[in-house]
Structure 1
């Protein structure tokens, strides 16, 4: 996935124990905010659209979110850097699947603690994960032309052990969700030599169901196995991923190939005819990535529309709950309302005409019932 370098860029990527981002700036020796890059410099037309979108959010939507504590239940308040940031690609997978090779190597490193203090970059919200996370999070300055328009976020490999949270010192699942909410494409990377999907990875994949339109599957190192083995591996992959996406009618598109710039291995010369198929998949994935900057304005409008719908539904739910609270005996009434949340959601849907697809996860309100006072 590495592109040939033509001028110094900046990149953000994740390290073995925490997420890392990869992006490009005007100069490797330039100021740190150059990591984010200027939208106007990248695309003047998109800059006008994003500026108008920023005005709408700051003047209309953000006050609604603050009034109804939207960030405590769903997403953090958006910053100017979030709205102006370049497209982001998130890579997820278990260890040694080739994610780091796809993201690229670094020329210079900027530590996570510094990144979270710079308002011009879209990483200030990561401070919530604490020092254990920030000590491992870093931005890598890389010499790759593609990074002028796209930021790659490389995650540490998902562990097979169920004690991952204790080993890392922060919630890996919550960190992944934070990045997934802000990513334009999410790549689930698998290795043909080890398709074992741990229970934790399966849960992580299932939790990304809300971002189904962003998900793509990469079966990497495909040219290192013979044709018969590849067919079996592909079938096992579809079965394993299908279990993780049991609530979806179909799994995301699968790209098959060897996604790195090194020489290809062919243990079975009979599969040489498949090289064209691999090359087509690799080129198709690259092409889809390169479309991200061109469609950044439309995607941000779509994301803002979904966010506005969720904020409206959220406000109506909390307003309904508040209207049911008595002047006295609030604690008992609150407990009763929490036990009747399904009925509350049904009443809100009927009153305001919300479709089922716009209703949020009911469990989220059960978990945060203490914040409904």
Structure 2
């Protein structure tokens, strides 16, 4: 594994030095050329982590039956290649759903906004060609989405989990998760 470290460390060092030269992430995101550079570096680091997992970690997990002991499936390419996920957590009626609505610039399927606790489920917002709501059990078995591991929480959780698909430029690069309020 020592032979894997230098290239990964170099990638991290390159990212760190470019971050110091390039300014804040907001400045990088607003400058078109830098955004592509950040996306390329992120993809490179993700690909390298996937390679390290498959070469070094997965064989150990398989040999020691980690999936049986921990009751968790092995990581798949979909989980490494998925977009970053941002989960909004907070007390009820503090504006989590309204904040998502503001970010997207529009309403989304399944949103519930009001003074009383209204969001009663976990809602994953994903980019797609049409507006629709997707049941949680369908999300957990979809081969292109990274939610397969949620099956282990059972039907009661999956019935309180849903997807909201809609066309959105924001959701092309990130997945948002709206949560019920915490009392």
**Range into which the TM-score falls when normalised by the shorter chain:** 0.5 to 0.7
- Residue number in structure 1 paired with 2:91: 94
TM-score normalised by structure 1 residue count = 0.29
- Residue number in structure 1 paired with 2:153: 129
Separation of aligned partners in 2, 1:127 and 1:154: 19
- Residue number in structure 1 paired with 2:55: 59
Matched, 1:141 2:165: yes
Q: Is the contact made by 2:88 and 2:178 (CA closer than 8 Å) also made in structure 1?
A: yes
Structure 1 residues 268-347: aligned runs within 5 Å: none
Separation of aligned partners in 2, 1:94 and 1:49: 35
2:46 to 47, 50, 53: 50
- Residue number in structure 1 paired with 2:75: 78
- Residue number in structure 2 paired with 1:309: none
Query: What stretches of structure 1 of length at least 5 have no aligned partner?
Result: 1-41, 160-373
Give the 3 Å change call, closer, same or farther, for CA 45–53 of structure 1 in structure 2: same
In structure 2, the residue corresponding to 1:110 is in which secondary structure?
strand
- Residue number in structure 2 paired with 1:150: 174
In structure 1, the residue corresponding to 2:176 is in which secondary structure?
strand
Q: Is the contact made by 2:78 and 2:144 (CA closer than 8 Å) also made in structure 1?
A: yes
RMSD, aligned α-carbons: 2.7
Structure 1 residue 134, shift from structure 2 partner: 1.2
Give the 3 Å change call, closer, same or farther, for CA 56–73 of structure 1 in structure 2: same
1:109 to 111, 133, 158: 133
TM-score normalised by structure 2 residue count = 0.55
Query: What stretches of structure 2 of length at least 5 have no aligned partner?
Result: 1-37, 102-106, 109-130
Separation of aligned partners in 2, 1:66 and 1:122: 20
- Residue number in structure 1 paired with 2:26: none
Tell me how many residue pairs correspond in the alignment.
119
Separation of aligned partners in 1, 2:159 and 2:95: 23
